[in-house]
Chain A
Amino acid sequence: MTSDPTTAVVSSRYAVIEGVLRLTAASLPGIEHVHPVKDLGQIVEEIEQRRPALAVVDLDPAGSGSIALIRKLSTVDPDVVVVLLTDRVDGSITLEAMRSGVRGLLLKPDAVRDLAPSLRRVVSGERVIDPAFEESAVTSLGRVARQARESSQIEATLSPREMEVLQLMGDGLTMRQIGRRLDISARTVETHATKLYRKLDVRTRVQAVSKAASIGLIELT
């Protein structure tokens, strides 16, 4: 599906910033309609519906859901040019933005003042990342590499069944629930768990889950 080249979607929880985003987007060549989205939780649905050429999103300063949001935005539609504003220099957010093909990552408060030239560069095809993010992104990259290496070394020793048990532990299921889910006895689950602890070099279930999550072996929801 192609996007609508005359439409932009903007979102910020601050009325003032939203106003700036709206005005600036409207001043871009070709943009005729700008839709403000009050609720950041609605942004993905809004983009899916309107298929705008441009989406400018001011990330929530609390930032807890930022990474999940960036991931979701990246799967919506590659034709939608996504620009993010944030006031936090956070390596994992920056790296996620760069991995997902976000076209602009701008740092507040400067980003608000320089928004017009930044957006013009983005819509003309450039990728605009504030240099202030560079160091934290590279540090995060180092962490990604280390995690990938460690987790692949451990994962190589785990059987598919052990991986399943580990993921279900991460989801918070009890041994009995895991057994039911996998159609095996709780006793068998315990056996898998014991082997898992040894391979992960931990002693408890909580340690196993936290270690597995920290090296990216499983994802906690």
Chain B
Amino acid sequence: MSRSATSGAAPARRRLGVVLVDPLPVVRAGLGLLIDGSEDLEVLSEPGDADEALDSLGRIRRSRVVVLVGLALGGSQDAAWLIRTIRERFPSHAILALGADADPATISHALFVGADGFVDKNVAPADFLDAIRQSGDRQTVLVGPPMDTVGEIANGIDRRKQIELRLTEREREVLSVAAEGLTARQIAGRLGVRERTVTTHLGRIYGKLGVGTRLGAIRVAARSGLVTVGTPE
């Protein structure tokens, strides 16, 4: 596909480049077609995971692109990890989190770790493209969630920050595994530590979050978007 060739008098302005990261090939293909179909936007790459995404970004020679990061990206290098990493390594790029019916806590999390905005896959195509353009113009974008949730998202960012400050990285890890409903022994197995260590961590977590039970801790963590209880996204 050649996009650079300009015939005619006025040289066409370079299109705004988009890097589209999503684990699902169908989503990438569909959104890719939509974006390439517009006159002012072009897809530069369609990575399927965090490694590919960073690799691709490292090779792009543009001062500013919009990176769409699908929140469905899971594993140890999940969407939050990727957003944080892009924010650090490529501070001039715009990062737009991409979700489907995401709850406010999930959006809070994405914004807190470094996304410049959120767009829902369920919005009309024209609104979706506008979200990308606005993000390219360095605006904060929130397209899809009802206006009503803005306050809740802001409160979620503060809660998130409180938890980040209070818990160590290891404690957050223990808590997110605990939220899957595992026993202390199973958590220990998963993280490769002793069961006793896990119960010590849990005890500290309860103290820091001001709760008495594991369920209480998970509830606090879920409200802050620290862990996802139930279905992802």
A139-B140, A152-B164, A155-B165 as given contacts; A145 in contact with B147, CB under 8 Å = no
Residue of A97, A143, A148, A155 near B158 (CB, 8 A) is A148
Q: Is the interface of A mostly helix, strand, loop or mixed?
A: helix
Residues of A within 8 A of B111 (CB): 141-142, 145
Contact with B along A50-87 (1 / 0, CB 8 A): 00000000000000000000000000000000000000
Min Cβ gap A202→B in Å is 21
Residues of B within 8 A of A138 (CB): 140-142, 150
Residue of B152, B154, B155, B165 near A152 (CB, 8 A) is B165
Residue of B113, B150, B161 near A141 (CB, 8 A) is B150
A149 touches B114 (CB 8 A): yes
Contact with B along A128-159 (1 / 0, CB 8 A): 01010010011111111100110110011000
Residues of B within 8 A of A156 (CB): 164-165
Cα separation A137 to B155 with both chains bound (whole Å): 13
B114 touches A129 (CB 8 A): no
Count residues of A near B (Cβ-Cβ below 8 Å).
25
- Is B117 close to A, CB under 8 A? yes
Cα separation A99 to B151 with both chains bound (whole Å): 4
A141 touches B116 (CB 8 A): no
Residues of A within 8 A of B90 (CB): none
Residues of B within 8 A of A143 (CB): 140
A142 touches B148 (CB 8 A): no
Cα separation A139 to B165 with both chains bound (whole Å): 25
The contact sample of 30 A-B pairs, CB cut-off 8 A, is A95-B151, A97-B151, A98-B150, A98-B154, A101-B151, A129-B147, A129-B148, A134-B147, A137-B147, A137-B150, A138-B141, A138-B150, A141-B111, A141-B153, A142-B116, A142-B117, A142-B139, A143-B140, A144-B154, A144-B157, A145-B111, A145-B112, A148-B112, A148-B157, A148-B161, A149-B114, A149-B161, A152-B164, A152-B165, A156-B165
Additional 12 contacts, C-beta under 8 A, given A99-B154, A100-B151, A101-B151 = A95-B154, A131-B147, A138-B142, A138-B150, A139-B139, A141-B142, A142-B140, A144-B154, A145-B157, A148-B112, A149-B113, A149-B114
